[in-house]
Amino acid sequence: MKPLEESPARIASREIFEKIYDNYNRRIYVSPDPLQFLYDYEETADREVVGLIASGLAYGRVAQILKSVKRVLDALGPRPAEYLRNSARRDHEEKLGGFVHRFTDCGEMYGFLTAIGEALRRCGSLEELFISGYNGDMSAAMENFADTFNRCAGRDNMFLLPRPSKGSACKRMALFLRWMVRRDDVDPGGWRGISPAELLIPLDTHMFNITTTLGLCRSKSANGKAAAEITENFKEICPEDPVKYDFALTRYGIREEMTVEELFAKWHLER
């Protein structure tokens, strides 16, 4: 069967996004961002642990995020996966006493690290745990992943891993999955069991404002419904990798030299 031809508007949209991707999806534009911590770890086993911690703490002022992530990683040492696999809650209490990152107190962090260690002992890797709950529905897999961590941590609803069933866009978990599933100059990758085509857009207020203005979202708030809508619209443009443009687009408004107004002007000019 002959594939349907793409509309001129869709072709134009992809060309614009590809230009933005080529120009700004580069590692030199990463810092300051918690993603930068993943580059220090060659082994996927360590990178996925670091990625989950860094993405979980990725809320609030970026300076404080980096400080908090560094404190946790310093406590885990150079082989964080091995350390957590062979440690217990009391070890975390000794090394991270008094830890606080906005809504995340030391008790939640102890539970979170303990849950990571339990997942590694039980499943071998965080990827295996995630895949065990994946049947083609990414939101359901994210829900199962969060539920498993909550049970292991002895908590009902950890702020570090929100559930899709609560209506959240789960931006930080979607960000973690982007880092681990995609592989290019920015996203280091490491997971092989999930296709980039299945990822959800990491949606926060910044990305919501950008996509709304570009006509990719009609939802009224940056929730799970909006994340699904935006992802579907990006699939129309790039079905094999709908979150491909996430990093490059979100540089606008984050970096001082790249304003959102510049992005919108570029969009209207080139369309």
Residue written as token pair 């260690």: 117
Residue-by-residue DSSP string for 225-249: HHHHHHHHHHHHH-TT-TTTTHHHH
Burial bucket for residue 94 (CB in 10 Å: 0-12, 13-18, 19+): exposed
pLDDT at 8 (0 to 100): 42
pLDDT at 136 (0 to 100): 87
pLDDT at 261 (0 to 100): 65
pLDDT at 196 (0 to 100): 97
- CA separation (Å) from 188 to 33, 56, 71, 253? 14, 17, 22, 23
Whether the predicted pLDDT of 157 surpasses 90: no
Output the six-digit token pair for 102: 């906005």
pLDDT at 13 (0 to 100): 81
Tell me what the mean pLDDT of segment 19-32 comes to: 92
pLDDT at 264 (0 to 100): 61
pLDDT at 159 (0 to 100): 84
Angle at 173 between CA 129 and CA 44, to 5 degrees: 55
Query: How does pLDDT run across 212-261, given as a tens digit for each residue?
Result: 988 899 999 999 999 999 999 999 999 999 999 999 999 876 666 666 66
pTM for the model stands at: 0.90
Query: How does pLDDT run across 172-195, given as a tens digit for each residue?
Result: 999 999 999 999 999 999 999 999
**Of 66-80, 83-97, 251-265, minimum mean pLDDT range:** 251-265
**Of 34-43, 157-166, 206-215, minimum mean pLDDT range:** 157-166
pLDDT band at 51 (very low <50, low <70, confident <90, very high): very high
What's at 115, amino acid-wise? Answer: A
Whether the predicted pLDDT of 5 surpasses 50: no
pLDDT at 89 (0 to 100): 92
Report residue 188: phi and psi, to 5°. -75, -20
If we measure between CA atoms, which residue out of 192, 174, 119, 178 comes closest to residue 152? Answer: 119
- CA separation (Å) from 184 to 26, 146, 166, 221? 9, 27, 32, 30
What is the C-alpha to C-alpha distance for residues 187 and 25, in angstroms, rounded to an integer?
Answer: 9
Whether the predicted pLDDT of 4 surpasses 60: no
If we measure between CA atoms, which residue out of 51, 73, 53, 58 comes closest to residue 176? Answer: 51
pLDDT at 3 (0 to 100): 39
Output the six-digit token pair for 67: 């400080």
If we measure between CA atoms, which residue out of 179, 200, 181 comes closest to residue 192? Answer: 181
pLDDT at 9 (0 to 100): 45
Whether the predicted pLDDT of 10 surpasses 50: yes
Around Cβ 93, how many Cβ atoms within 10 Å? Answer: 15
Tell me what the mean pLDDT of segment 154-180 comes to: 89
pLDDT at 265 (0 to 100): 62
pLDDT at 73 (0 to 100): 98
The whole-chain average pLDDT of the chain stands at: 89
- Close Cβ partners of 195 (under 8 Å, ≥ 6 residues apart): 181
Query: How does pLDDT run across 91-139, given as a tens digit for each residue?
Result: 999 999 999 999 999 999 999 999 999 999 999 999 999 999 899 899 9
